[in-house]
Structure 1
Amino acid sequence: MGEYKTEEQKKKFYRTGDWNRLRQQALERDNNECQQCKREGKVHVDSIKVQGERKSVELNVHHKYGIEHYPKLALVLDNLETLCLQCHNKMHDRVFGATKEKKWDDERW
């Protein structure tokens, strides 16, 4: 167990066999479904691998308590949950392609 403060330290962690095995356990436990969508009454499952094509990434395994602040929980299954990319990005306040709402609907002169 180490520190995961820098991007390089985090990348190194996410390439380890220990992480990949635990990640797979979390996906299986969560039936390859986004747990946040499930809480909202929706279903978002993993994509299916098509022969000869690259599999699209639909799901991430999210640390409820981030590894940079809680390194001891980095490899704890109960600290993980499966989320679709959209929900995962919302959890981390990363919203892409959002349009700004107009303040006024009328024309400007």
Structure 2
Amino acid sequence: MIPVVKTKADRARFYGSTKWRNLRKAILERDHYECLWCKAEGRLTTQYDSILEVDHVKELETNPELAFDPDNLRTLCKECHNKRHDRMNYRGQPKKRKWDDEFDIL
């Protein structure tokens, strides 16, 4: 069954499912609990150094048919996963939003 992941509740349901949790564990084991991006750069980042996350190479929202495809999944550390989705700048700080300067004058 292809999951529909469009809302926050859909995401919570998907990532909380037994099927996903079992697959996530299998991917972490397959990747030896190492961040693949760090490894490609000659660094070793494991579960002892960072939180490890399983990333969908092709986005879940746009490619739901690949949701459970092991070839579409990889282990990334939290920093690399955030970098991949442009959620944080590369120093681990939240990205400055265009309206943040409005709070500087208060």
Q: What TM-score results when the alignment is normalised by the length of structure 1?
A: 0.78
| Higher Rg of the two aligned structures | 1
Relative to total residues, which structure has the larger helix share, 1 or 2?
2
Aligned-pair CA distance for 1:98: 5.9
CA gap of 1:8–1:98, structure 2 versus 1, over 3 A, is: closer
CA deviation profile, 1:45-97 (whole Å, cap 9, x unmatched): 0129xxxxxxxx61000000111100000011111000000000000001142
Rounded to whole Å, the distance in 2 between the matches of 1:27 and 1:7 is 24
Rounded to whole Å, the distance in 1 between the matches of 2:5 and 2:71 is 19
- Runs ≥4 residues deviating over 2 A: none
The number of aligned residues is 92
Q: Is the CA contact (8 Å cut-off) linking 2:87 and 2:95 kept in structure 1?
A: no
Aligned-pair CA distance for 1:11: 1.0
1:88: which partner in 2? 81
**RMSD over equivalenced CA pairs, Å:** 1.9
Aligned-pair CA distance for 1:32: 0.1
**How many percent of aligned residue pairs carry the same amino acid?**
41
- Structure 1 residue runs of 5 or longer lacking an equivalent are 49-56, 101-109
2:102: which partner in 1? none
* Structure 1 SS opposite 2:54: strand
Give the counterpart letter for 1:27 in structure 2.
L
1:22: which partner in 2? 23
